[in-house]
A and B are shown apart, each in its own frame.
Chain A
Amino acid sequence: MTLVQAKLSPNAVRELQSICQSFGNDKGELINILHKSQDFCGYLPPDVQEVIAEELDIPVSTVYGVVTFYSLFVMEPRGKHHISICTGTACFVKGAMDVMDEFKLLLGIDMGETTPDGNFSIDSLRCIGACGLAPVVMVGEKIYGRVTPDDVINILDDYKDK
């Protein structure tokens, strides 16, 4: 994993501190605090985790352990267009992995990563209940159904110029 070195602005540090304070700096509220902090920053790089650790008086390793445990929390900024490939049972059986491989190949990144230009990021998703349309791919909020590896390049083209 390559760490994103992001320097927080003094204002951002103050905002994060006030998020912690809004929960009474209670270390038991770490998950809620991380959730709000990610909403604010978009992601949770080391600097953000260190501010939270300092404010709650817990080791930064504890924060890091929680962040890596839950798939909701990300340490790299998501792309402008976030691609989620459903790997639930129906989609898996209908070839979701081949679709995934095609996305990885065309974008040159792995699952959980973001393209260097910041346009796309890919991750897997668990069943969204659209199994009749398997395999399913979401780009942002838009759902694509019955996706084949050949469709991938067309899907990406939809977003190339946006």
Chain B
Amino acid sequence: MESVKLIIDDKSVEVPKGTTLLDAAKELGITVPALCHMDLSGIGFHSSNASCRLCVVEVEGRRNLAPGCTTLATHGMVVKTRTPRVLNARRINLELLLSDHPKDCLSCSKAGCCELQNLAETFGIREISYQGEMSSHAKDTSSPSIVRDPDKCVMCRRCENICREVQGVGVLTAVNRGFESVVVTAFDRDLDTTTCTYCGQCVAVCPTGALTEKDETNEVIRALADPFKTVVVQVAPAVRTALGESFGMKPGTLVTGKLAAALRRLEFDYVFDTDFAADLTIMEEASELLDRLTRHLGGDTDVKLPIVTSCCPAWVNHLEKRFPDLLEYPSTARSPMQMFGSIAKNYLAEKISVHRKDMVVVSVMPCVAKKAECARVEFSDDGNPDVDITLTTRELASLIKRFNIDFESLEDEDFDAPLGESTGAAVIFGTTGGVIEAAARTAYEFHTGETLEQVDFEALRGFDGIRSATVDFAGIDIKIGIAHGLANARVLMEEIRKGTCEFHAIEVMACPGGCIGGGGQPFHHGKEEIIRARQEAIYSEDASKVIRKSHENPHIKKLYEEYLGKPLGEKPHRLLHTHYFNRSGKKTK
């Protein structure tokens, strides 16, 4: 690997050829400010438009200032990052950006975690010298998950790039020119009429309040205050790896105990764990996988392989809109969140003698697509949803702060029984590769009748966009494919369409990294190490558990004995499975 030597702020540094000045400066501990730049190349996303012009630096011999994010270091370059000329240019560029930006920081949902606001503070902006016409675009609140406020757009293009390149969907684009330019949907249509899957990655990468999630904290407060409502809460695996970040804790700190304690302080009537339902999902999905495998290998051509996971709602939306001809491939099992809702409103409600209409099920998810998922008509009974409200990790953090709870000082507590006990297989749902690994642990034992000694399937782990591994089920080779990021999922789906797919099972997560990198998680602001730390936390929680296979969860066993019968039976079919719809707007052949 060729390297180049250059001088930045009178210090010498040697970097590989192809390194940008921004990254070269970082090697010396010099942080050049940037806005539109985002580098998550380790998990498949890189966005550098050099449009904000805040990362400009002086390069000796070059007449104009150079953007650090796209200018490559060359041998013998002499760079200065903080001369008066550079500082002045950055200030002017930032003031120009601010001159056409709404000044409602006090009531903006991004206050405190807005990159533009942070830069204004860092640069010591005290007045904006440029006054003029202000952009005026309509806010789009059509989607149950995402709110678009184009007036706050700074044209960084992160959302456009992640939606088009990483997700292969391309809902957002830059339109018009000059003062009129803005990032919107095609024809400025409402989000809910587009191919948007609500994955929320645009929200996760937006530096300002232009793209945010729909806030439902007030609905939850109302439910909690209603004396005639029994409010039940469930929390997803990925939440416990990231919630601490909202309270200044180190990324990757597992806060499971504090999370349960905080939810109790918020006065939820029952504090349960979505992980319990993840174990339930594995019971159904592993059984379905084996059933399909046996029938398919036995010659039944009506049964389709590969089986594709369906717990990711953004993925299901994408399937229904983009691959309506492949709706026989996803598992019919509902997501853990929805299985939980169904069990809570049927089994639990009966057990505690509460009518389902008087029970409010709230879920806390790392996801914004879940807000749309719980509103699906098929997940309700006579107009009453199985899951009433979904909050993101960020909204929960906001609620905890609003209720004056000192999160960091909370003592660890446990979840309530019987819907709070879970295995290590359940918690790994939060990362890419986790769902299929959990399924493999159970499917292996269900099929072979033998005990699985080596529970860790290292071959299924990692951050590569498309991975594959072969798992030995006592002589039969089961080929597993994994994709995260919808553009990667498309590659596998096209193979299925062509008939060249060799996998027996495929796991798809819409968000890079899986749920840990979800659209509802605390903002990572482009720091890849945060997502990696969250993944480490997931696997460490799994390793620390005594029971690591879903079917060994005693509460799950009891639920089947007492109530559900057998996996894939009549009651599970009615309460825990679903079907899919052609939402492409086109007829399939």
Contact = CB atoms under 8 A, between A and B. Distances in A.
Contacts of B186: 46, 49, 59-61, 63-64
A61 B195 CA distance: 10
Interface residues of B, number: 15
B185 A61 contact: yes
Which secondary structure dominates where chain A touches chain B?
Answer: helix
Interface residues of A, number: 14
A60 B171 CA distance: 8
Contact of B170 (A3, A46, A59): A59
A68 interface: yes
Contact of B173 (A1, A3, A46, A65): A65
B559 interface: no
Contacts of A63: 186
Interface string B159-170: 000001000011
A64 B176 contact: no
B188 A58 contact: no
A58 B163 CA distance: 12
B486 to A, nearest CB: 12
A3 B177 contact: no
Interface in B136-167: 164
A69 B188 CA distance: 14
Interface in A25-83: 46, 49, 58-65, 68-69
A1 B164 contact: no
B169 A68 contact: no
B174 interface: yes
A2 to B, nearest CB: 11
B170 A58 contact: yes
A68 B174 CA distance: 9
B196 to A, nearest CB: 10
B187 A64 contact: yes
B172 interface: yes
Interface string B184-227: 01111000000100000000000000000000000000000000
Given A1-B188, A3-B187, A46-B187, A62 B175 contact: no
B187 A62 contact: no
Interface string B107-148: 000000000000000000000000000000000000000000
Contact of A69 (B170, B171, B177): B177
Contacts of B188: 1
Contacts of B195: 59
Nearest to A65: B173
Contacts of B173: 59, 61-62, 64-65
A3 B188 CA distance: 10
Which of the listed residues B169, B170, B171, B188 has the most CB atoms from chain A within 10 Å of its own CB?
B170
A61 B171 contact: yes
Contacts of A59: 164, 169-171, 173, 186, 195
B174 A65 contact: yes
Given A1-B188, A61-B186, A62-B164, A68 B176 contact: yes
7 contacts: A59-B164, A59-B173, A60-B170, A61-B170, A63-B186, A64-B175, A68-B177
Nearest 8 interchain pairs by C-beta: A59-B170, A61-B173, A65-B173, A61-B186, A68-B175, A64-B186, A60-B186, A68-B176
Interface of B: 164, 169-177, 185-188, 195
